[in-house]
């Protein structure tokens, strides 16, 4: 009997015929243009090798994101009221398979990117990655994350919407109410959420025991680079693809750190779930090690 309690989510609507046709036409035009530029060979599939990852993704030529063949444990998607955001938000929690309701387990708080919400975490396979990491030898922990909007996990200066305060001030209570060990916390995020994880750690140095960031959406003049001194002593890991448009600011951030991060990994890949999923088991192992310490 499965421990999973999947959230209810409306199925994706199919593309309207005219929209699908336009998308296919755009793809053909891009391919034709690449042929003219020598980027795609007429035979042999050479163009697939030469095209950079983000172009492959745009053309629908890239691989499917890896998701491990592991069972989900208890997965919940609930609606909670965030005073910091002034609205109801969805709260995702996932316990590794075989650990019941996760009582007493530490928590990795997930900060999503700008194009995602907490409702996407289960379709992304995060609960399956969690079980796979524990089956591979990592100490057990829980995943939890809530909707943060598109504000880079920072306060909106034009309203009372403050997703950062939601994480720092409200998330521990939500975790404690569900029986998790709310005092042992990690931060993990990708893109905008990677930036947000680093920023929360800088502004609230004692909030998280460990931080992992995938392709953090950093600008070269961002305060997150200027305030790196606040990260002294914090276990930190950063991953970014070499084809990612944020690679240079990410390298700048890592170089500015007062001490080298435990992991600074730059591998082939773009700003995509294909790249992020390939790093997730390593990231979960890193988080688990420090949450258990």
Residues 89, 215: one domain? yes
* Sign of the alpha-carbon dihedral angle for 204, 207, 208, 212: negative
Per-residue pLDDT of 218-238, as tens digits, reads 999 999 999 999 999 999 999
CA distance 62 to 51: 10
Answer whether residue 258 is part of any domain. yes
Return d(Cα 225, Cα 265) in angstroms, integer. 18
Are residues 189 and 240 in contact, defined by beta-carbon separation less than 8 angstroms?
A: no
Phi, psi of 263, rounded to the nearest 5 degrees? -135, 130
Average pLDDT, the chain: 86
The string of pLDDT tens digits covering residues 147-191 is: 999 999 999 999 999 999 999 999 999 999 999 999 999 999 999
Q: What is the CATH number of the domain that holds 98?
A: 3.40.50.1820
Same domain, 32 and 145: no
Residues 145 and 261 in one domain: yes
Residues in contact with 161: Cβ distance below 8 Å, sequence separation at least 6, in sequence order: 85, 86, 87, 149, 151, 155
Residues 43 and 100 in one domain: no
Q: Is the CB of residue 195 less than 8 Å from the CB of residue 224?
A: yes
Nearest to 59 by CA among 19, 24, 15, 21: 24
For residues 41 and 165, state if they share a domain: no
Structural domains counted in the chain: 2
- Based on the fold, state whether residues 149 and 225 are members of the same structural domain: yes
Range of the domain at 46: 17-51
Indicate if 130 and 187 belong to the same structural domain: yes
Judge if 93 and 47 occupy the same domain: no
**What's the whole-number mean pLDDT along residues 36-54?**
39
* One domain, residues 39 and 109: no
Tell me if residue 94 falls in helix, strand or coil. Answer: strand
Task: List Cα–Cα distances, 21 to 31, 41, 59, in angstroms.
Answer: 15, 24, 14
Residues 129 and 270 in one domain: yes
The reply to whether 62 falls in a domain is no
Q: 129 and 269: one domain?
A: yes
């Amino acid at each position: 009997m499965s421990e999973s309690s999947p959230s209810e989510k409306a199925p994706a609507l199919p593309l309207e015929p005219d929209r699908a046709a336009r998308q296919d036409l755009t793809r053909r035009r891009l391919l034709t243009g690449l042929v003219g530029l020598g980027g795609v060979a007429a035979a042999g599939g050479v163009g697939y090798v030469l095209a950079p990852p983000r172009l492959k993704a745009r053309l629908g030529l890239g691989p499917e994101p890896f998701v491990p063949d592991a069972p989900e444990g208890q997965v919940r998607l609930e609606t909670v009221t965030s005073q910091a955001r002034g609205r109801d938000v969805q709260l995702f929690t996932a316990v590794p398979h075989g650990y019941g309701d996760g009582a007493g387990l530490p928590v990795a708080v997930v900060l999503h990117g700008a194009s995602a919400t907490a409702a996407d975490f289960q379709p992304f396979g995060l609960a399956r990655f969690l079980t796979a990491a524990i089956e591979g030898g990592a100490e057990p922990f829980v995943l939890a994350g809530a909707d943060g909007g598109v504000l880079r996990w920072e306060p909106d200066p034009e309203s009372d919407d403050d997703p950062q305060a939601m994480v720092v001030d409200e998330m521990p209570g939500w975790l404690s109410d569900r029986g998790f060990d709310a005092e042992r916390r990690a931060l993990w995020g990708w893109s905008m959420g990677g930036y947000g994880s680093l920023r929360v750690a800088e502004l609230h140095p004692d909030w998280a025991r460990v931080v992992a960031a995938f392709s953090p959406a950093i600008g070269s003049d961002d305060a997150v680079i200027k305030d790196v001194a606040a990260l002294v002593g914090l276990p930190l890991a950063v991953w970014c693809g070499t084809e990612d448009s944020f690679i240079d600011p990410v390298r700048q951030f890592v170089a500015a750190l007062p001490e080298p991060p435990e992991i600074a990994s730059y591998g082939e890949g773009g700003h995509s779930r294909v790249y992020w999923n390939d790093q997730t088991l390593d990231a979960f192992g890193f988080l688990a090690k420090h949450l258990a310490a």
